[in-house]
Amino acid sequence: MRWFHPQVMSTPHTHGHIEINWLEQGSLAYKFDGRDVRAPSGQIVFFWAGVSHQAVSVPPRSVDPVRQCNIYLPLDTFLYQPKLGSLTEVIMGGGVVSLPPDFMDVATLRRWYRDYRSGDADRTDLLKTEIGLMLRRVSLVGWDTLLEPWIGDGENVAHRSTPIRHIVAMIRHIVEHIDEPLDSAAVAEVVGLHPNYALNLFTRVMHISMHRFVIRMRLIRARELLFSSDLTMENIAFSSGFSSLSQFYLHFGRAYGMPPFRLRQEYL
């Protein structure tokens, strides 16, 4: 999460997050894979940043320069948010959405930023929970679509979208089969690509290897089960796709700094 003065971007770029933007005043002009979008001020605007995007016009500088707040939500965290329904499909399809002005105010964003910068694990967890609740409310009351989703199976999709369509298909396969053995060849087969090419494409677009992405998805799944069920550690490990309890403990300890049973105890 960061506050900054918006600037024109010299070139388009991509990264693996869900990007949540809020502009103080004026509007921002973007290009998403060459298509024009104007983002209004005073409203949350968000999209999957795995689609090529570029800020091409920003509010003019004045005596009091305009401020922008950006939140970068890991894609795997977004995909495991419960009950988002068609919102997930819109975002993963390359859509850009905005929320009504009453969804967010500058005071809340500043409080979120203080929580983010605090270094306190409880405040950070609270921040993530509040962002998740905001997304849940969006899924219930609706949103405004600034750019219609365009990554799909239709024959009329432009050729330039093909790499992103491959990434979307691979991610969906990983999420839907996270509790099963996954290897690069099987994931590549979903999109009809050579495994080496699929791995390189995934890393280039997502800025994380497919192997690391799968582990992160499994850890997020395990953490969710820790807090929402009374399953044993062994059942959580296998329900999250880990091949052994020792592998689960190793990766969990590296990611969260403590064994899963201790994290559950602290949470409860």
CATH code assigned at 46: 2.60.120.280
For residues 164 and 134, state if they share a domain: no
Banded model confidence at residue 165, pLDDT cuts 50, 70, 90: confident
For residues 123 and 184, state if they share a domain: no
For residues 203 and 217, state if they share a domain: no
* Residue 168 domain flag: yes
* Residue 54 domain flag: yes
Exposed, middle or buried: residue 243 (CB in 10 Å: 0-12, 13-18, 19+)? exposed
For residues 166 and 125, state if they share a domain: no
For residues 186 and 252, state if they share a domain: no
User: ∠ CA(258), CA(264), CA(266), 5° rounding?
Assistant: 80
For residues 40 and 84, state if they share a domain: yes
The tally of domains found in the chain comes to 3
For residues 185 and 96, state if they share a domain: no
Predicted local confidence at residue 80, as pLDDT:
80
For residues 191 and 87, state if they share a domain: no
Span of 41-45, 88-92, 211-215, 224-228 with lowest mean pLDDT = 224-228
Average pLDDT value for the chain: 88
Residue 153 confidence (pLDDT) above 70: no
Cα gap 75→58, rounded to integer Å = 26
Q: What are 254-266's pLDDT values in tens digits?
A: 988 999 999 888 8
**Residue 110 belongs to domain spanning:** 2-147
Return the H-helix or E-strand segment holding 164.
Answer: helix 162-176
Cα gap 154→152, rounded to integer Å = 6
For residues 196 and 74, state if they share a domain: no
* Residue 75 domain flag: yes
For residues 230 and 183, state if they share a domain: no
* Residue 73 domain flag: yes
Exposed, middle or buried: residue 116 (CB in 10 Å: 0-12, 13-18, 19+)? middle
First to last CA, the chain: 28
One-letter amino acid identity for 215? I
Q: What are 99-125's pLDDT values in tens digits?
A: 999 999 999 999 999 999 998 888 988
* Residue 153 domain flag: no
For residues 134 and 234, state if they share a domain: no
Question: Maximum distance among all alpha carbons in the chain?
Answer: 60
* Residue 119 domain flag: yes
For residues 14 and 140, state if they share a domain: yes
Question: Which of 87, 96, 88 has its CA nearest to residue 35?
Answer: 96
Predicted local confidence at residue 242, as pLDDT:
95
* Residue 198 domain flag: yes
Q: How confident is the model over 151-176, as a mean pLDDT?
A: 70
* Residue 154 domain flag: no
